[in-house]
Amino acid sequence: MSHVPRAGIVHRLDKDTSGLLLVAKTEAAHAALSRQMKARTIRRRYLALAEGDLPLDAGTVDVPIGRHATHRKTMAVRHLGGRAAVTHYRVLKRLGAMGHMSHVTCHMSVVELSLETGRTHQIRVHLAHLGHPVVGDTTYGKHPASFWRQAGVDRQLLHAYQLSFTHPRTGRPMTLTAPTPDDIGRWIGDI
C-alpha cells in the first residue's frame, strides 16, 4: 500500500464539528475521490442547531466566502475576492427556549444542510450571514463561550451526518451515516 500525503483526507471537518471524514487509503483512491469532490458529486449532509427561527422552511445561500479582511483566521462573506459558496438548507424542526436553556430568549431551529461547494467554515459563515448562527459557535455567533457553557454547550452544534459518493475501486454508490451525538440529540429529540 502506498502512502498518501496528508493522510489522504478528502472531506475534513472544522474543529469541534462532529461527524464523518472521508480518508483515502491509497493514492489512486485519493485521486478518484478528489475528482468526485471537484466535480461536486460527493454529497455531504449536515445537521445543525441554529439560533432563532429561520423565516423560510427551505432555501439556498449563494454568497461568496473568503478570508476576513482583518481577522485572517476567520472567513467572511466577500462579494469582492471571495470564492463561490452554495449551501442548501431545510428546517426540520423549530424549538422554543427549552428547560435548562431558558436564559436564551431566542428560539432555535434544527436545520439539515447540504453543500454544493466546500469552503472553510462555509455552513457556519452562511448561517451567521442569515442572522441564525450555529448554536455554540463563538467565532461567528452572537454569544461568548461563557454564555454557551452556562447552557451546557461546549462546541458549535454542527454534525456531518451523511456522505454519499462512488466507491473509488468498485464503482458502487456508497452512503455512510453517523449517528447524532448526544450533545445535539438532547436538544432535538426525535426528528
**Which amino acids are annotated catalytic?**
14
3 state SS of 140: coil
- CA distance linking residue 174 with residue 167, whole number of Å: 6
Q: What angle do CA 131, 117, 126 make, to 5 degrees?
A: 5
**DSSP string of 117-129, one letter each residue:** S--TTHHHHHHHH
Q: What does the alpha-carbon distance between residue 188 and residue 47 come to, in Å, rounded to a whole number?
A: 10
In angstroms, rounded to a whole number, what is the distance separating the alpha carbons of residues 79 and 115?
19
Dihedral (Cα; 58, 143, 118, 91), 10-degree rounding: -20
